[in-house]
Structure 1
Amino acid sequence: MSSEKLLKKQYYPVSAPLYNYLEKYKRVVKTTVFYQDLLRFQGSVVVYDQNNEDTLWVRVFYNEFEKKEIDLSLKKIYTLLHSDGDERNIKNLTVDYIDFCTFGNSKPFRVKIRNLLNDNYTHFYVKIADASRIFGLELEHILSPNSINFLVYKETLIEEHIVGIPGDVFLKHHLDKCTEAEKAQIAKEFVKFNERCMIGLLGDMRSYNFVVIPIYDYDHIVFKIRAIDFDQQCYEGNFKLYKPHLFKENFLFTKLVNDKLKKSSIEQYQNEERSILVKRLAGFEERLSELLEAMKANELSPTINLERLKKETYKVTMDKNFKNAKSMGEIMEAALNFMKRNYNSHHSME
Structure 2
Amino acid sequence: MSDEKLMSKKKPAFSVSKKLDEYLSYYSRKIEIPIFYEDLLRFSGSVTVYDSNDQDTLWIRVYYSEFERKEIDDSLKKVYSILHSDGSNNIHQYLNVDAVDFCTFGNSKPFRIKIRNILNDNFTYFYVKKTDASRIYGLELEHMLSPYNLNFLVYKDTLIEEHIAGIPGDEFIKNMLPKCSEPEKAQLAKEFVKFNERCMIRLLGDMRSYNYVIVPVHDFDHVVYRIRAIDFDQQCFEGKLKVYRPQFFKENYQMVELVRGKLLRDSVDQYKLEERSIVAKRILSSGVRIKKLRRICKTDIISNEENIKMLAEQIYELTLDVNFKQCKTMGDVLDLALNFVKRNYEDVSMKQIIEQNIKIS
Instruction: Report the TM range for the smaller structure's normalisation.
Output: over 0.9
Q: Name which of 172, 182, 197 aligns with 1:170.
A: 172
Distance 1:239 1:116 in 2: 48
Identify which of 273, 277, 280 aligns with 2:279. 277
1:345 positional shift: 2.5
| Deviations 1:278-323 (CA, angstroms, capped at 9, x unpaired) | 1111111200011012212221011111111111111111112211
Match of 1:61 in 2: 63
Deviation at 1:348, TM superposition (A): 3.7
Whole-angstrom CA distance in 2 between matches of 1:289 and 1:338: 14
- Alignment partner, residue 225 of structure 1: 227
Which contiguous aligned blocks of 4+ residues in structure 1 show a shift greater than 4 angstroms?
A: none
Q: 2:113 aligns with which of 111, 114, 120?
A: 111
State whether residues 2 and 249 of structure 2, in contact with CA within 8 Å, keep that contact through their aligned partners in structure 1.
no
Task: Please give the secondary structure, in 2, of the residue aligned with 1:127.
Answer: strand
Residue in structure 1 matching 2:43, options 41, 44, 49: 41
SS of 2:108 mapped into structure 1:
coil
1:99 partner SS: strand
Q: Tell me the SS of whatever aligns to 2:316.
A: helix
Partner of 1:100: 102
Q: CA–CA distance in 2 between the matches of 1:322 and 1:226? A: 29
2:51 counterpart letter in structure 1: D
Does residue 142 (structure 1) correspond to residue 149 (structure 2)? The answer is no
Q: 1:88-116 CA distances to partner (integer Å, 9 max, x unpaired)?
A: 11111010010000100000000000001
Which one of the candidate residues 306, 309, 315 is aligned to 2:308? Answer: 306
Alpha-carbon separation, structure 2, partners of 1:160 and 1:89: 18
Counterpart of 1:253 in structure 2 is: 255
Residue 23 of structure 1: how far off its partner (Å): 0.3
**Relative to 1, partners in 2 of residues 1:5 and 1:344: Cα closer, same or farther, differing over 3 Å?**
closer
Moved more, 19-28 or 83-92: 83-92
2:29 is paired with a residue whose SS is: coil
> Residue by residue, what CA displacement relative to the aligned partner does 1:26-72 show, whole Å, maximum 9, x if unpaired?
00111111000000100000000000000000000100111110100
1:239 corresponding residue in structure 2: 241
Distance 2:31 2:207 in 1: 29
Distance 2:328 2:287 in 1: 22
Residue 205 of structure 1, aligned match among 198, 204, 207: 207
SS at match of 1:224: strand
Contact 2:2 2:250 in 1 (8 A): no
- Give the superposition deviation at 1:2: 4.5
Letter in 2 for 1:20: E
Q: CA RMSD in A?
A: 1.0
Distance 2:101 2:30 in 1: 24
Q: Which letter does structure 2 place at the counterpart of 1:188?
A: K
Secondary structure of the residue aligned to 1:11 is coil
Cα distance, 1:20–1:207 mapped onto 2, change above 3 Å: same
Residue type of the alignment partner of 1:76: K
Deviates more, 1:336-345 or 1:254-263: 336-345
Distance (whole Å) between structure 2 residues aligned to residue 217 and residue 86 of structure 1: 37
| Correspondence for 2:28 | 26
Name structure 2 gaps, 5 residues minimum: 353-361
> One-letter code of the match for 1:210?
Y
SS, match of residue 231 in structure 2: coil
Contact 1:15 1:297 in 2 (8 A): no
Query: Residues of 2 paired with 1:33 and 1:99: CA distance?
Result: 16
What secondary structure is seen at the aligned counterpart in 2 of 1:176?
helix
Q: Partners of 1:99 and 1:15 in 2: how far apart?
A: 30
Find the counterpart in structure 1 of residue 357 from structure 2: none
- Gapped runs of 5+ residues in structure 1? none
Distance across 2 between alignment mates of 1:214 and 1:5: 30
Contact kept in structure 1, 2:6 and 2:240, CA below 8 Å:
no
1:133-170 per-residue CA deviation (whole Å, 9 max, x = no partner) reads: 00000000000000000000000000000000111000
Offset of residue 344 of structure 1: 2.5
Residue 191 of structure 2 is matched in structure 1 by 189
Return 340-349 or 60-69, whichever deviates more.
Answer: 340-349
Q: What is residue 266 of structure 2 aligned with on the other side?
A: 264
- 1: CA distance, partners of 2:13 / 2:43: 23
Corresponding residue for residue 75 of structure 2: 73
Aligned residue type for 2:91:
N
Q: Secondary structure at the match of 1:100?
A: strand
What is aligned with 2:344?
Answer: 342
